[in-house]
Amino acid sequence: MSRVLLSIGAVQLLVMIVALVRAKVLALLLGPAGYGVISTVDQTVVSLVQLGAFSMPFTALKFMAREYGHPEAFAKEFATFFAAIGACGLLTVLLSAGVLTWYPGVFGSDLIVLRPYLLLALLGVPAAMLHILFVHTLAAAQRGTSSAWLNMLVLMALAVASVIGVVVAGIRGVYLFTVGAGVLSAIVGLRYIMGQLRLTMHASPSVLLTAFRKNPEIVKYSFLVYSALAAYSLTMLATRYFVFAGLGAAQAGLLQALIGIGLTVGAMLNSMNTLYFVPVINSRLPVPEKEKAANLFARRILLLLIVGGLGVSLFPGTLLKLLFSHEFLPGAGVLFAFVIWQLIYQMANVYLQLLIGLDEVAAYAIATCVGYGIASVLFPSFISRFGLAGAAMALSCALVISAVVALGRLRWRFNVSVDGGVVARFCFGLLVILGARFAFRHTAELTVSGVALRGAFALAVALVLWLTLASDERRFLLSRLPQSARLRFAVSRSRSEDDDPTA
């Protein structure tokens, strides 16, 4: 299992690198305004993929995993979901294209300029839906590493296609080439998994309806998860549309860069959540054990978030210039706000997932929808008053509200609460990020004095973290040091104990 998790983590790192390289190239070629157009169109397509599939790719994972080991039943499940998701993809394209054709100003008159690109990008929706199904099919067949590699290779193909497209034909070329690459990847992916898993296409769609009748809880579960997913997806889309309409395409490009860096800080933690934490809390452990697992996991990821967030907050301008271009430097002053958003998101997500693990899926959906619903109301006023920082503030408010609702339900229903160590580390993380932003806002980043001061601050943070680590966390970190470093640490500790008779 450790080898599999390590392999998946390594592939996830490659996915992050591919995404960053794509963003860097497009930012250099298009500038903030062009990058803002692409980010808005991309998020629209992602939202349509998530909403139009009705969470069926995720439901398919549950059904097919149950039938693993029974080849005929597994093949029937795959064929059924393939037909259903393919039909949903085509229907999504037709409905969306119809709306954009007959109501071109549906998103506002300022955004009509995006319509030609949206109409092209829509053609890739069915292939994107099927790509998720193929990845989940391999995962259901207990081929996690193959699933991760398939995902990475498809994303790499799309990234290469987008770069070639922008060089050949600008923004329009991005979608002409990525749609073609997406369709080709879907064909190759289908042939690959059918050959690897020996699948055939001979099932009737009625199998899906029969399965739903036999398992009505699956329908309820899918609907509630779909509601939460829709709330998140629509809110992220609304963020971009409000910024694009209110602040312009260039600011929308800066927003995408800031969100991208924030999501990168938490990307590896999302994999840990999915591959380790979610299986644990969905097992048959008693409630106290699940509570303990959630608090322990929250403390561990907060440690990683503080380290990653500190680096981003200390050198925001350097990071934006390195990952994008000097034209994105105006966003350096508010990057810390998106790091805080990701810090709150990861914390809230732990306890939202705990609700699902305790079969409180309805409470999970309500907490998520209420939080993001309030965020959507806050966007216009926050963005007009605070600019891009207002977008991060509204998203953070949404997650605070969701976390309060989730923790209230956990406390009332199961007497589950957040332990003091988690709260203390979370507050320390907020102080570290805010301190890194405001202590050095008037100090150049890459001068000798700037680097020295930031290094001293980072060293102080590391010392506080080390002193507040639990004994098992210290042992874990020391075990990851090279053997020579561990020997030197042991020798120095032994000498200090010999010098101190009370040690």
pLDDT tens digits, one per residue of 407-438: 999 999 999 999 999 999 999 999 999 999 99
Residues 197-242 have pLDDT tens digits of: 877 665 555 555 666 666 666 677 778 888 888 898 889 888 988 8
Stretch 319-343: mean pLDDT: 93
pLDDT over threshold 60, residue 487: no
Of 35, 6, 237, 37, give the one whose Cα is nearest residue 117. 37
pLDDT over threshold 70, residue 485: no
Cβ(469)–Cβ(306) below 8 Å: no
* CA 337 to the chain's CA centroid: 17
Residues 381-399 have pLDDT tens digits of: 999 999 999 999 999 999 9
**3-class secondary-structure state, position 82:** helix
Cβ(356)–Cβ(364) below 8 Å: yes
How confident is the model at residue 17, as a pLDDT?
A: 83
Residues 116-149 have pLDDT tens digits of: 999 999 999 999 999 999 988 887 787 767 887 8
- 272 vs 497, which has greater pLDDT? 272
- 212 vs 463, which has greater pLDDT? 463
Going by pLDDT thresholds of 50, 70 and 90, the confidence category of residue 498 is very low
- Rounded distance between C-alpha atoms, residue 397 and residue 394, angstroms: 5
Find where tokens 């903030």 sit.
32
- Residue-wise burial string across 280-305, b where 16 or more C-beta atoms lie within 10 A, e elsewhere: bbeeeeeeeebbebbbbbbbbbbbeb
Cβ(320)–Cβ(329) below 8 Å: yes
How confident is the model at residue 483, as a pLDDT?
A: 52
Task: Look at the pTM and tell me if it is higher than 0.85.
Answer: no
Cβ(81)–Cβ(208) below 8 Å: yes
- 492 vs 449, which has greater pLDDT? 449
Of 339, 265, 237, give the one whose Cα is nearest residue 20. 265
Cβ(122)–Cβ(97) below 8 Å: yes
- Sign of the dihedral defined by the CA atoms of residues 125, 112, 375, 330, in that order: positive
Going by pLDDT thresholds of 50, 70 and 90, the confidence category of residue 356 is confident
Going by pLDDT thresholds of 50, 70 and 90, the confidence category of residue 263 is confident
* CA 111 to the chain's CA centroid: 26
How confident is the model at residue 53, as a pLDDT?
A: 87
Of 502, 301, 484, 256, give the one whose Cα is nearest residue 391. 256
Find where tokens 């054990």 sit.
289
Let me know how long the chain is. 503
Of 127, 166, 132, 148, give the one whose Cα is nearest residue 26. 166
SS3 string, 151-170, reads HHHHHHHHHHHHHHHHHHHH
- Rounded distance between C-alpha atoms, residue 439 and residue 229, angstroms: 38
Q: Distance of CA 142 to CAs 69, 78, 138, 411, 468, Å?
A: 10, 15, 7, 36, 39
pLDDT over threshold 80, residue 267: no
Going by pLDDT thresholds of 50, 70 and 90, the confidence category of residue 492 is low
- 65 vs 449, which has greater pLDDT? 449
pLDDT over threshold 90, residue 20: no
- Residue-wise burial string across 6-29, b where 16 or more C-beta atoms lie within 10 A, e elsewhere: eebeebbeebeebbbebbebbbeb
- Rounded distance between C-alpha atoms, residue 368 and residue 232, angstroms: 8
Cβ(159)–Cβ(21) below 8 Å: yes
pLDDT over threshold 60, residue 480: no
How confident is the model at residue 490, as a pLDDT?
A: 52
Beta strands in 213-291, from DSSP E residues, in sequence order: none
pLDDT over threshold 60, residue 494: no
Residues 148-187 have pLDDT tens digits of: 788 889 999 999 999 999 999 999 999 999 999 999 999 9
How confident is the model at residue 149, as a pLDDT?
A: 86
Percent of all residues in the chain with a pLDDT value above 70, rounded to a whole number? 84
Going by pLDDT thresholds of 50, 70 and 90, the confidence category of residue 503 is very low
Amino acid symbol at 327: E
Burial of 361 (0-12, 13-18, 19+ CB in 10 A): buried
Mean pLDDT score of the chain: 84
Dihedral class, residue 103 (left if φ above 0, else alpha if ψ from -120 to 50, else beta): beta
CB atoms within 10 A of CB 416: 21
pLDDT over threshold 80, residue 319: yes
